[in-house]
Amino acid sequence: MDRSALIDRLIAVCGERGVFHTRSDLMVYEYDGSVDGSVETALPVAVTLPTSTEQVAEIVRIANLAGLPVTPRGAGTGLSGGAVTQDGGIIIALTRMDRIIEIDREDRTALVEPGVINLELSETTTPLGMFFAPDPSSQRACTVGGNVAENSGGPHCLKYGVTSNHILGLEVVLPNGDVVWTGSTPAGAPGYDLTGAIVGSEGMFGIVTKALVRLTPNPQSTLVQLAAFPDLDTASTAVSRIIAAGILPASLEMMDNLTIQAVEPAYHAGYPMDAGGVLLVETDGLIEEVAALGEEITAICKNSYATEVRSATEKAQRDLLWKGRKMALAAMGRLSPNYYLHDTVVPRSQLPATVARVREIGDEFGIEIANVFHAGDGNLHPLMLFDRHKPGDVERVLGAGKEIINWCVSVGGALSGEHGIGTEKRGYMTMVYTGEDLAAMAGLRNAFDPGGRLNPGKVFPKGYSCGEVRALRAQAIAQKHDIHPV
Amino acid sequence: MRNPAALLAAAEFDPAISVDGLVPGGVVHPESGEEVAALLAMCDQHKFTATPVGGGTKLALGNVPPKMDVAVSTLGLGGVRAYEPSDLVCSLGAGARFGDVQAVLAEHGQTIPLDAPDDATIGGLVATAIAGPRRLGNGSLRDLLIGIEVAHPSGTVTHGGGMVVKNVSGFDMPRVYHGSLGTLGIIVSANFKVLPLPQRETTVVGTHQRLNEALAAARRIRQSRIMPLALEVSRSGDGWSTAVRIGGHEATLDGAVLEVQRLLGHDPQLIEGPESSAWWRGYISATDLRLEHDAALLRLSVRPRDVDTMAEGAVGALSQLGIASPVVAISPGLGQVIIRLEPEPADAHDRFLTARDVLSALADHAVVLAAPPAWKRGIDVWGPAPATLPVMKALKEQFDPGGVLNAGRFVGFI
């Protein structure tokens, strides 16, 4: 199929307005939320914007006929390069499939299309007494489909869990164009947990066209407390003590002084400018319980050398305290023209040592690093400040990023807590996984997509095609048991 | 590592271990993941089937195996491998007993909030994915599992996930093994998030004469501000009970308890503290898969909004058919009903099949959790094959092309 025949067929499915194919239109889709230079990208052959499951299935079949790979895409807010193509192919942008099909108040579920924006879902359901718990920082723009692909987190994961804990079932277009449902009851359908496998599969197993999501009841009461500490060590100690006291807050966020310097002048959230670290603790639940926990948290923070603890229960005040945290990324523009937002996880007890090491790495590479993190789950987000027009800055930032990952892995951490691997971190996969571990992942992928047509080039180290993974596995087995592969 | 051939040669015949009346040719007792992998590779080479066995509490689950050559006991893979109370995570050997693990966690005021028999093993709980009533408030092991180590028939041991509570480094392998009934590999160890024990817990049990009254009481609880750990409606003597398990902050539970009492009505019974957990142990023992006589255990599920209709329909149909159902355990919030059927001995098999047909028609999914082998033969206990079966078969083919692991026992006779 030549290019113009392909475009004609896609237009026949999606209509003129549903297919982009001019160079200037396609260039927009070469980008996502990731930092230029941290991921590889290529111009797609065409971008399609289907409005129904049938159209998605038909595009997938056409792509198969044309022998082209397919990359699904939501709002393109991802930070690891998951929504850009590696070597051309067809992008299926799901942003026009944005209907909330059904809200079930009794079961507290919503059936949504993948293009529904995360925050819009919660804003629609909050007046009905419930919300969609995953709340990544990009929630004003990112889509539920993207959340499913990346298994997105957010500040409230500590208590409520990540996206995977909130997906009950998925309608999926498989790489061969078949449409299936993976589950629908909370008890789960018999058989392998395909819903669980697809969430976080970075668009490589199937294209989600509907999701049945769990909604969480609005808490009766919510308390946000801001505690200021002389430094990050004292703040980290307070975090450990809160957890040790058996308290599981809805979220436990930390920011360092550099972040405070950026956000306070911009948003006037009331963060003390001289604090070495600020802790934002949100507790929610029954009125009595929240009040009691608030007092305990205040006492723990004061005993951990907090210089100030402020509490807010009214929504406007709570929102103000949160504003500094939620707008931290936006505020970085005050400090530096560009930033590279990193995402790694360490066991919570390793946070103080990790923070110290991140500081050292910043010094070694001559980069300023601001720190915001989900302290409750040990998920850190070093923000590396740089100027892309300064020669060598991008390289230094990427170098520092790798060092941070090295450290996190060495203390038992992981490559990514919520941003995914994509192309950004695929080169690091062998730091935490053996060839055999990767072969198992490749086996899972092969079960869904034996041809490797869906979002190729992601997650696995570059050049690690499925065939090679199989060969590696055979080699490993042969070495182990001295059996020669046929 | 010990020689797998020698381990196989030394495998002992143990009539205490059997699946659907079949006793494996021998039981092996590996002590490391490498040994399990080497054993499985050898089974693959010689076309033996291998059945993982932990505490033996859920061996009834699954289709009748066509044959059973080797049973692989995981009891040698026990122990708490790592536990960091301040990180709220632990790593457990597959053969660790659930009760022993809970005792270790309780010393630090923590728990894996699952309802399971003490003698069940961690590997078995992950592989069978059978969660109890607390799934409502705390989720199942699916929600707590953060890392896993698995031995495969390819002779390899693979890892997925890790020891951190949030992790998107590659595909979510732990979830793939959860509930896979040991058909993709034998779990060697598993890592979990743990939770703080509630400072105090109380169970409130209301009794009602009629099922619809008990279900209505449960509905009032579901619609209230109370977020119970568990909410169950069950047959209790001649009537029905609605049990609500709540836990939380010491100083604040009283208000919630009063509210639950008011919502249940009929002067409900209060069960406090340790007696509350004991009550729930008793409750789950009624749905234990180890059935002693000719009885069957069925699990029906629908979306929760339809559970009242399903439950009333099931109880009504069974009474019309004249089939005794001494245990009916309804989880309204989970959309699930577990029923123990005890048909009259005369044509019990036929009556069981009729009951299964009738009950399946009421549910989205109906699984026979346990039944005598004669009743299970000829049916797929997991119900009709799902539309996703081709993907499931492809997955099995990727991990166990020789059909070594629990051959024939899983969905669609995988």
pLDDT tens-digit profile of B212-255? 999 999 999 999 989 999 999 999 999 999 999 999 888 778 98
For residue A288, give how far its alpha carbon lies from the nearest alpha carbon of chain B (Å).
6
Based on the fold, state whether residues A107 and A213 are members of the same structural domain. yes
Q: Return the residue matching tokens 């993948």.
A: A114
Based on the fold, state whether residues A295 and A315 are members of the same structural domain. yes
For residue B181, give how far its alpha carbon lies from the nearest alpha carbon of chain A (Å).
9
Q: Could you tell me if residue A420 is inside a domain?
A: no
Among candidates B167, B179, B398 on the partner chain, residue whose Cβ is nearest the Cβ of A447: B398
Neighbours of A452 (CB within 10 A): 18
Is A187 in contact with B334 (Cβ distance < 8 A)?
Answer: yes
What is the rounded CA–CA span in Å between residue B42 and residue B159? 21
Among candidates A187, A191, A443 on the partner chain, residue whose Cβ is nearest the Cβ of B392: A191
CB A477 within 8 A of CB B42: no
User: What pLDDT does residue A483 have?
Assistant: 41
- Among candidate residues A183, A217, A251, the one where a domain is terminated: A217
User: What pLDDT does residue A226 have?
Assistant: 96
Distance set, CA B3 to CA A128, A480, B81, B95, B103 (Å): 63, 12, 24, 21, 35
Stated as kind and residue range, the H or E segment containing B52 is strand B50-53
- pLDDT, mean over chain B: 96
- 3-state DSSP assignment of residue B73: strand
What is the rounded CA–CA span in Å between residue A213 and residue B216? 25
Residue among A143, A137, A141, A140 nearest A93 (CA): A143
CB A243 within 8 A of CB A148: no
Is A246 in contact with B109 (Cβ distance < 8 A)?
Answer: yes
Say which residues have a Cβ less than 8 Å from residue B122's Cβ, sequence separation at least 6: B54, B92, B93, B94, B95, B96, B98, B101, B187, B190
Based on the fold, state whether residues A461 and A390 are members of the same structural domain. no
CATH number of domain containing A41: 3.30.43.10
**Looking at chain A, which residue has its C-alpha nearest residue B86?**
A244
Beta strands in A64-185 (DSSP E): 70-73, 90-93, 100-104, 109-112, 130-131, 167-173, 179-181
Residue among B54, B48, B8 nearest B153 (CA): B48
- Among candidate residues A271, A305, A330, the one where a domain is terminated: A330
What is the rounded CA–CA span in Å between residue B68 and residue B279? 37
Q: Could you tell me if residue A464 is inside a domain?
A: yes
Say which residues have a Cβ less than 8 Å from residue A83's Cβ, sequence separation at least 6: A32, A71, A72, A73, A74, A76, A91, A146, A203
Tell me the residue type at B354. T
For residue A307, give how far its alpha carbon lies from the nearest alpha carbon of chain B (Å).
24
Based on the fold, state whether residues A230 and A317 are members of the same structural domain. yes
CB A188 within 8 A of CB A213: no
DSSP code of A143?
B
Based on the fold, state whether residues A61 and A28 are members of the same structural domain. yes
Number of domains in chain A: 5
- Helix, strand, coil in percent for chain A, rounding step 5: 40, 20, 40
CB B254 within 8 A of CB B26: no
- Among candidate residues A189, A217, A245, the one where a domain is terminated: A217
Residue among B119, B142, B115 nearest B53 (CA): B119
Does any CB of chain B come closer than 8 Å to the CB of residue A316?
no
pLDDT tens readout for residues B217-226 = 999 999 998 9
User: What pLDDT does residue A482 have?
Assistant: 46
Based on the fold, state whether residues A397 and A440 are members of the same structural domain. no
Say which residues have a Cβ less than 8 Å from residue A12's Cβ, sequence separation at least 6: none
Does any CB of chain B come closer than 8 Å to the CB of residue A41?
no
**Looking at chain A, which residue has its C-alpha nearest residue B254?**
A288
User: What pLDDT does residue A486 have?
Assistant: 32
Q: Between β-strands A379-386 and A344-345, what pairing exists: parallel, antiparallel or unpaired? A: antiparallel
Helical H segments across A183-254, by residue range: 194-198, 232-244
Is A193 in contact with B84 (Cβ distance < 8 A)?
Answer: no
Based on the fold, state whether residues A30 and A133 are members of the same structural domain. no
Based on the fold, state whether residues A63 and A115 are members of the same structural domain. no
Sign of dihedral through CA atoms A48, A51, A54, A56? positive
Statement: residue B121 has pLDDT above 50: yes
Among candidates B89, B169, B251 on the partner chain, residue whose Cβ is nearest the Cβ of A347: B89
What is the rounded CA–CA span in Å between residue B249 and residue B253? 6
What is the rounded CA–CA span in Å between residue A81 and residue A202? 10
What is the rounded CA–CA span in Å between residue A216 and residue A195? 19
Tell me the residue type at A177. G
Burial class from Cβ neighbours inside 10 Å (0-12, 13-18, 19+) for residue B204 reads buried
DSSP code of B148?
E
- 3-state DSSP assignment of residue A68: coil
CB B52 within 8 A of CB B186: yes
Q: Could you tell me if residue A41 is inside a domain?
A: yes
Does any CB of chain A come closer than 8 Å to the CB of residue B362?
no
**Structural domains of chain B, ranges and CATH numbers in brackets:** 1-197 (3.30.465.10), 200-285 (3.30.70.3450)
Residue among A270, A274, A294 nearest A282 (CA): A294
User: What pLDDT does residue A479 have?
Assistant: 53
Distance set, CA A86 to CA A176, B66, B238 (Å): 20, 47, 66
CB A133 within 8 A of CB A69: no
Distance set, CA B219 to CA A360, B223, B233, B302 (Å): 57, 6, 10, 16
For residue A440, give both structure tokens: 């198992």
CB A162 within 8 A of CB A418: yes
Sign of dihedral through CA atoms A319, A321, A325, A330? positive
Q: Could you tell me if residue A150 is inside a domain?
A: yes
Based on the fold, state whether residues A309 and A370 are members of the same structural domain. no
Phi then psi for A475, rounded to 5 degrees? -65, -45
For residue B220, give both structure tokens: 């009032």
- Which chain A positions have a beta carbon within 8 Å of B156's beta carbon? 436, 439-440, 473, 476-477, 480
Statement: residue B389 has pLDDT above 80: yes
Phi then psi for A187, rounded to 5 degrees? -70, -15
Distance set, CA A20 to CA A84, A227, A386 (Å): 15, 50, 34
Is A196 in contact with B178 (Cβ distance < 8 A)?
Answer: yes
For residue A414, give how far its alpha carbon lies from the nearest alpha carbon of chain B (Å).
6
Burial class from Cβ neighbours inside 10 Å (0-12, 13-18, 19+) for residue B401 reads exposed
Q: Could you tell me if residue A415 is inside a domain?
A: no
What is the rounded CA–CA span in Å between residue A31 and residue A16? 23
What is the rounded CA–CA span in Å between residue B303 and residue A108? 11
Q: How confident is the model at residue B293 (pLDDT cuts 50, 70, 90)?
A: confident
Q: Domain containing A58: what range?
A: 3-93
What is the rounded CA–CA span in Å between residue A116 and residue A96? 9
Is A447 in contact with B179 (Cβ distance < 8 A)?
Answer: no
Q: From first to last of the 486 residues of chain A, give the pLDDT tens digit.
A: 899 999 999 999 999 999 999 999 999 999 888 877 677 788 999 999 999 999 999 999 999 999 999 999 999 999 999 999 988 899 999 999 999 999 999 999 999 999 999 999 999 999 999 999 999 989 999 999 999 999 999 999 999 999 999 999 999 999 999 999 998 776 678 999 999 999 999 999 999 999 999 999 999 999 999 999 999 989 999 998 998 888 999 999 999 999 999 999 999 989 999 999 999 999 999 888 899 999 999 999 999 999 999 999 999 999 999 988 888 888 888 889 999 999 999 998 898 899 999 999 999 999 999 999 999 999 999 999 999 899 999 899 999 999 999 999 999 999 999 999 999 999 999 999 999 999 999 999 999 999 999 999 999 998 776 555 555 556 555 555 444 333
Burial class from Cβ neighbours inside 10 Å (0-12, 13-18, 19+) for residue A119 reads middle
Based on the fold, state whether residues A340 and A406 are members of the same structural domain. yes
Does any CB of chain B come closer than 8 Å to the CB of residue A23?
no
Q: What percent of chain B shows pLDDT beyond 70?
A: 100
- Which chain A positions have a beta carbon within 8 Å of B399's beta carbon? 440, 443
Q: Could you tell me if residue A421 is inside a domain?
A: no
- Tell me the sheet residues that pair with A211: A112, A170
- Tell me the sheet residues that pair with B83: B90
User: A438-452, A472-486, B96-110, B287-301: which range is least confident on average?
Assistant: A472-486
Q: Could you tell me if residue A229 is inside a domain?
A: yes
User: What pLDDT does residue B130 have?
Assistant: 93
Beta strands in A230-350 (DSSP E): 251-256, 277-285, 308-312, 338-341, 344-345
Does any CB of chain B come closer than 8 Å to the CB of residue A181?
yes
CATH number of domain containing A324: 3.30.70.3450
Based on the fold, state whether residues A360 and A435 are members of the same structural domain. no
CB B122 within 8 A of CB B92: yes
User: What pLDDT does residue A471 have?
Assistant: 58
Q: Between β-strands A46-48 and A90-93, what pairing exists: parallel, antiparallel or unpaired? A: parallel
Say which residues have a Cβ less than 8 Å from residue B189's Cβ, sequence separation at least 6: B33, B77, B81, B91, B92, B93, B94, B148, B149
Chain B residues 262-291 with CB within 8 Å of chain A: none
User: What pLDDT does residue A213 have?
Assistant: 97
Based on the fold, state whether residues A231 and A271 are members of the same structural domain. yes
CB A380 within 8 A of CB A345: yes
CATH number of domain containing A395: 3.30.70.2740
Distance set, CA A264 to CA A281, A325, A338, A345, A375 (Å): 18, 10, 19, 26, 20
Q: Could you tell me if residue A291 is inside a domain?
A: yes
